[in-house]
Amino acid sequence: MRVVIDANRMRKPELMAYLMLSPNNKAVISDYSAIESYKSEDPNSVLEHFRIVSSFPTQIVVLKATSEVASLDPSTGPMPARMIDLEQTAGFPRFSDAMTMAYRGNRSVIQQIEERREWAQSQLRSMTDDSDFREVLAIIRQVFSPDQWKTFRRRKPFTPKMQQQLHIAIMMSAEALANGHPTGLTLPEPPHLHHHFTFRLAMCHVIHLIDLAGAGATNRKPKQVLNDRVDVFHAAYATYFNGLMTTDEKAALTHHHARSALQSLGVALPENYADNVQEAVAELINHHRAIAGKPPL
């Protein structure tokens, strides 16, 4: 089982228990999760962020950069294996060794962490640009009528007509994202389209914004834009693997709806971590808490 890990789960007992449960359980790390893990001002906090994954170096899967993943053509082969950065994944034990050296006070490695943190801060500043948020929101407003926006806010089920409009909004958003890619992407026709990362990202983006619209959101602060961006990217990545491990309810809900939408298009998806393995992980956590004399979670 391979589960995409949100940065907010990197320090949590759930991740530790999941990796302990079976050596076949893999934690999938995206560039977005890595950037968030390095963003802390305190190098010691960064070290703590990587402590669990560094303890299971052969169970970590590192993905390619998002821009590279978005360039992959689904018609040339299955996507999940091609999304993995084989070199970084194979080299993760060396990364874990470096983290151990940093724990022990190795100044050279700590300096590298500080440099990586500065890089992450720079990436995060660029990710607060809300132009794509406003563009997709404008598409949703264009496709759906004011009365249908009231349906969002009342959290009512979509009518068949609204489901068709949802697909139109996703396609318009996917084309906008493809045109904005540095290399200028050409999206394939179905069924390969439904496996293209840009299509799934657009789907998650539209679903996420409709959920926000339902809550009455029309404008987002820079920090909220950053959180929105990370949520939709993780939700999209997780559709290629066995789901998403996150504490963010909006990210989890976006991923859940995206899985349902893809399955309605006839896309076969991997088993979802949340459907059964998550329960076994919770049982393992509570078992260890009972041994330590602590109440169950």
pLDDT in tens, 168-213: 999 999 998 898 888 888 899 999 999 999 999 999 999 888 887 7
Both tokens of 94, joined, read 């060396």
Q: What is the pTM of this model?
A: 0.89
Q: What is the dihedral of CA 262, 267, 272, 276, to 10 degrees?
A: 110
With beta carbons less than 8 A apart as the criterion, state whether 271 and 263 touch.
no
Q: Can you give the pLDDT at residue 236? A: 97
Q: For 54-105, what is each residue's pLDDT tens digit?
A: 999 999 999 999 989 999 999 999 999 999 999 999 999 999 999 899 888 8
φ/ψ of residue 2, rounded to 5: -125, 115
Q: At what angle do helices 107-126 and 92-103 cross, to 10 degrees?
A: 110
Q: For 215-247, what is each residue's pLDDT tens digit?
A: 666 666 767 777 888 889 999 999 999 999 999
Q: Identify any residues that bridge with 3 across adjacent strands, giving them in sequence order.
A: 27
With beta carbons less than 8 A apart as the criterion, state whether 67 and 182 touch.
yes
Both tokens of 215, joined, read 């809550």
